[in-house]
Structure 1
Amino acid sequence: MPILTLDAGAFDANTTAMMNYVRGVGARIAPHAKTPMSPALAAKLVAAGADGLTVADGRQAAVMLAAGFRKLLLANEIGGEAAGRRLGELLRRYPDCEISVFVDSPAAVCAAAAAALAAERTLACLIEVGTGRAGARSRDAARTVIDAVADSKGLALGGVATYEGAAVTADAAETLLRVDDLCRLAGEVLGDVRARNPGQQLVLSAGGSAFFDRVIAVLGPVCAADGACTLLLRSGAIFFHDHGIYARALAAMDERGGFSPGASASASFTPSLRVFAEVLSRPEADLAICGLGMRDISFDQGLPLPVGLYRGGRSLSLPQNSRLVRLNDQHAFVALSPGSDVAVGDILAFGLSHPCTALDRWSHIFVLDDAGAVRRVLPTFFG
């Protein structure tokens, strides 16, 4: 202890729910592999219908290429020309791979051209528009990037991309306005790319795990009107879900009626990840200290949530009002009602507040069956 576990049944059910949703709205999905960096879980998603995988950098691409995946979306700028050459040298070892990269400036286009030259192949580029993070900030800026790609040897205009999650503000209503505005900008830039590539199959990519409903609502009609464009989501965390940021996001999606007609997003997905930790000390009547800390679990989107109590392999009722109030490097401070039946040696299970910043703390994921028994141990490949 502590250990990170994945409920296999919950993961499979989440996969089914998301794949059914994507098919129902006429889109495709290339799940972001950065969340678990697990080729075994990536293979399950591809087998379930994913249209390739998304990666964030050359390291992640190298892992997935070595694992046998051949269709990747590198959802990020490469860096400078030296980084482009390194990526190109990697791609040259996998001549059968299909990969697209993001570009948001003439400098990024130069890096992509360096990658294409080193790879000795044509490289597809998606024009990234954005706010709050990377991405061309206006249609005019995007047109400059389009021109640079069109004028560069070894590059091809593959479509447009954005990340609507970067539009989030503290105000929910303002956030939705910004998300929709960003999606509309992506749709306009797609028209500019289409003008340079009549008849060619293009990709319009967006969609994290919080606002994919707005991506579908705004960009679905754009792709349908184009007639030769694939709307490609990149959601990754949704397959794991959580007790924090995505629990709140799906509740908000339900409030705006954004999920499938007659279906609740919150009810369609189940948190699949838990961290189990042993109670080390009961120094006060209303306090339990567990062997779990900031080195083991995410806390950037709120503290973990106690969700289960076990003693001698048996599940006990979790005392009401139990809550984690503080984390040190190796200790978790759990507030209890006085008299709560929690003893040294008991095991507490904690739900995550953010899967993406918890999985990367672990070299292995323990996969549980419906009875809570460990059936597989999957390595992760971060860094």
Structure 2
Amino acid sequence: MSGPERIGGGTGVDWRTKGFWQPDDAWTAEEFAAARHDLFGGAFTWPVMVARRTAIAHNIDTLAAYCVRHGLAFAPHGKSTMAPSLFAAQLRAGAWGISAATANQVLAMRRLGVPRVLLANELLDPTPLRWLAGEVRHGFEFLCFVDSADGVAAIAAAAVDADRPLRVLVELGHPGGRTGCRTVTELTAVARAAVAAPGVELAGVAGYEGGLSTVDDAAAYLASVRAATLELAGKGLLGDDVIVTAGGSRYFDLVPAHLGGAWLPGRALWTVLRSGAYVSHDDGIYRGWTPFRRIPEEGSLDAALEIWAQVTSTPEDGLAIVGMGKREAPYDEGLPVPLRVRRRDGTVEPARGIEVRRLNDHHTYLGLGPGARLHPGDLVCFGISHPCTAFDKWRVIPVIEDDYAVTDLIDTYF
């Protein structure tokens, strides 16, 4: 099976599509893209979130080249976008597979044609496990994490009649983290259970450092993942081909430093990076967190997502209300960032002296500093903070060129 070959190619748009104004017409994605609507020409209403094509292409190429330079396999985390066109673009750029967080995401990726999925989580639900055993039998490449004997037992029970094993990665966690064995002793016990279980194949070791607070903490943790892998290999628990995977979007520069290279004697090692938020980047937390701030010589990322919303009221001095809220914009890891103002006559200027104070369901409260002026009907362009909770709010996202011509559509499957 193969993924979509273009950015877009989904179900199209009609009156049900948020952000589009199509009260009578229905368009296929191809028709809508071919029309090259101007974002401000009447085919859309406000608010609407758009994705800049040049930024997405730059970001995909940047991480692909980074992984090649450092000898990493890349399984970008699909939970960030759940967009088949972006999966296809990442795979065309050389991605080894796509990572998922839930069984439903794995199902969607399988139906969308992703050939290899890494479930970066534990899975104990017998129904999807039995389904996965059948899909693996038909050639689907799938791996998931385990951090307990119970998890191994659930996978073994689902694969009892399978002619191909379900492959697992034992996960090493850290104190206060989410999943993962807390000690190497526990990790070894789970690894032994996986090796002994019929229908289960131990493929390697997994970790996640993104929840740690400092570079030093993340580095120490990744060093412990390496040491634990060497210990499992020394005990004869790992095969000839070993996968070691880690890497969110905050510390991906530490993965080649601590897990890259040929450090597992006598075995072929695949170091798999899982960063996902990079594909759209943002104007908030990831702008501050990206490792490229530490290693600017390695590249840079561009914020691709913008939300355009209209000023609906200026009820008092220093306050403007914009028709955008929690249903349209992420707010869990920082509030939206005002970038530009488009006046009613079409002129555009920087959003100086404007800040987001708070959001309701469909309203944003803007504080206006000295000299800042907004008028009802003006449009404000916002950057976002945390793309992982931005894509899920929009079923269809227009793809814009730098001149704001809409040339494609991104469908999401949350």
Q: Does the pair score TM above 0.5?
A: yes
Match of 2:38 in 1: none
Aligned-partner SS, 2:61: helix
Match of 2:407 in 1: 375
Q: 1:372 to 1:313 in 2, by over 3 A?
A: farther
Using the TM superposition, name which of 225-234 and 35-44 deviates more: 225-234
Structure 2, unmatched stretches of 5+, are 1-45
Q: Give the structure with the larger helix fraction.
A: 1
* AA in 2 matched with 1:201: D
Contact 1:285–1:339 at 8 Å: present in 2 too?
Answer: no
Using the TM superposition, name which of 214-223 and 159-168 deviates more: 214-223
* AA in 1 matched with 2:131: E
| CA distance in structure 1 between the aligned counterparts of 2:231 and 2:127, rounded to whole angstroms | 29
Does 2:378 match 1:333?
no
| CA distance in structure 2 between the aligned counterparts of 1:198 and 1:111, rounded to whole angstroms | 21
Aligned-pair identity (%): 35
* Alpha-carbon displacement from aligned partner over 1:298-343 (angstroms, at most 9, x marks no partner): 1111111001212358341124221111111110011113553422
Match of 2:240 in 1: 200
Q: Which of 50, 74, 83 is matched with 1:38 structurally?
A: 83
Q: Which of 224, 234, 245 is matched with 1:185 structurally?
A: 224
Contact 1:157–1:193 at 8 Å: present in 2 too?
Answer: no
Using the TM superposition, name which of 47-56 and 285-294 deviates more: 285-294
* AA in 2 matched with 1:375: T
Q: 1:148 to 1:308 in 2, by over 3 A?
A: same
Q: 1:86 to 1:197 in 2, by over 3 A?
A: same
Contact 1:139–1:188 at 8 Å: present in 2 too?
Answer: no
Match of 2:180 in 1: 135
Two-structure CA RMSD over aligned residues (Å)? 1.9
Aligned-partner SS, 1:166: coil
Q: 1:88 to 1:285 in 2, by over 3 A?
A: same
Does 2:295 match 1:296?
no
Match of 2:134 in 1: 92
Provide the TM-score with structure 2 as the length reference.
0.83
Contact 2:327–2:361 at 8 Å: present in 1 too?
Answer: yes
| CA distance in structure 2 between the aligned counterparts of 1:298 and 1:127, rounded to whole angstroms | 33
Contact 2:71–2:261 at 8 Å: present in 1 too?
Answer: no
| CA distance in structure 2 between the aligned counterparts of 1:269 and 1:225, rounded to whole angstroms | 35
**What is the deviation of 1:365?**
1.4
Alignment of 1:53-72 (within 5 A): 53-72=98-117
Provide the TM-score with structure 1 as the length reference.
0.90
Aligned-partner SS, 1:117: coil
* Alpha-carbon displacement from aligned partner over 1:175-217 (angstroms, at most 9, x marks no partner): 2232122212211221233342566111100000010111221
| CA distance in structure 1 between the aligned counterparts of 2:225 and 2:403, rounded to whole angstroms | 46
**What is the deviation of 1:359?**
1.3
Q: 1:313 to 1:22 in 2, by over 3 A?
A: farther
How many pairs are equivalent? 365
Does 2:52 match 1:7?
yes
Match of 1:171 in 2: none
* Alpha-carbon displacement from aligned partner over 1:91-138 (angstroms, at most 9, x marks no partner): 414611100110011111112213323655301110100121100011
Aligned-partner SS, 1:217: helix
| CA distance in structure 2 between the aligned counterparts of 1:190 and 1:313, rounded to whole angstroms | 62
Structure 1, unmatched stretches of 5+, are 169-174
Q: 1:55 to 1:143 in 2, by over 3 A?
A: same
**What is the deviation of 1:345?**
1.2
